[in-house]
């Protein structure tokens, strides 16, 4: 129960931070990605502050504990190579972010607006995650000869 409450508190803080910084507005995110037009550096400040907080967490909280995760969603030990799946997934994520102006965190925050486009975006993201999970499972299933 304590872990659930910690996750809820962290999510609330993250969501409030996204709203305060304006990163739940896709127009502001797309303005950051528009180098040839009306470029806005605002997202860079949000990213740099997040990197600083994460670096502090790594430095002071994790220290030398090899069993502690270094990042949320970090690959397990021995799976730290760059491969086609990582590059393809990163490219797909970046393309979706650039087209829609949302990544998963801000999209969940903006889901609270109940805008039809947000509902479609989040449902499409969930469908993509389910498709990935199914593909991974099917590739791990041993084939019988």
DSSP track, the chain: -HHHHHHHHHHHHHHHHHHHHTTTSHHHHHHHH-SSSS---HHHHHHHHHHHHHHHIIIIIITT-TTS-SSTTPPPTT-----HHHHHHHHHHHHHHHHHS--HHHHHHHGGG--HHHHHHHHHHHHHHHHHHHHHHHHHSPPP-
Q: Give percent above pLDDT 90 in the chain.
A: 1
* pLDDT for 66: 60
* pLDDT for 76: 58
pLDDT at 71 over 60: no
Mean pLDDT rounded to a whole number for the chain: 79
pLDDT at 31 over 80: yes
Residues 35-61 have a mean pLDDT of: 81
Least confident of 13-17, 57-61, 80-84: 57-61
pLDDT at 27 over 60: yes
pLDDT tens per residue across span 111-142: 888 888 888 888 988 898 898 888 888 887 66
* pLDDT for 40: 83
Tell me the pLDDT band of 43, cut-offs 50, 70 and 90: confident
């Amino acid at each position: 129960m304590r872990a659930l409450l910690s996750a809820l508190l962290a999510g609330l803080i993250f969501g409030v931070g996204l709203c305060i910084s304006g990163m739940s507005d896709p127009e502001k995110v797309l303005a950051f990605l528009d180098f040839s037009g009306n470029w806005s550096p605002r997202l860079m400040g949000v990213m740099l502050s997040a990197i600083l907080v994460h670096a502090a967490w790594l430095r002071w909280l994790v220290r030398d504990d090899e069993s502690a995760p270094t990042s949320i969603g970090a690959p397990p030990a021995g799976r730290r190579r760059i491969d086609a799946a990582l590059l393809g997934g990163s490219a797909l994520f970046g393309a979706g972010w650039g087209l829609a102006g949302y990544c998963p965190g801000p999209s969940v925050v903006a889901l609270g607006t109940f805008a039809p486009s947000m509902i479609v975006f989040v449902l499409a993201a969930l469908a993509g995650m389910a498709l990935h999970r199914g593909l991974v499972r099917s590739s791990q299933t041993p084939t019988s000869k």
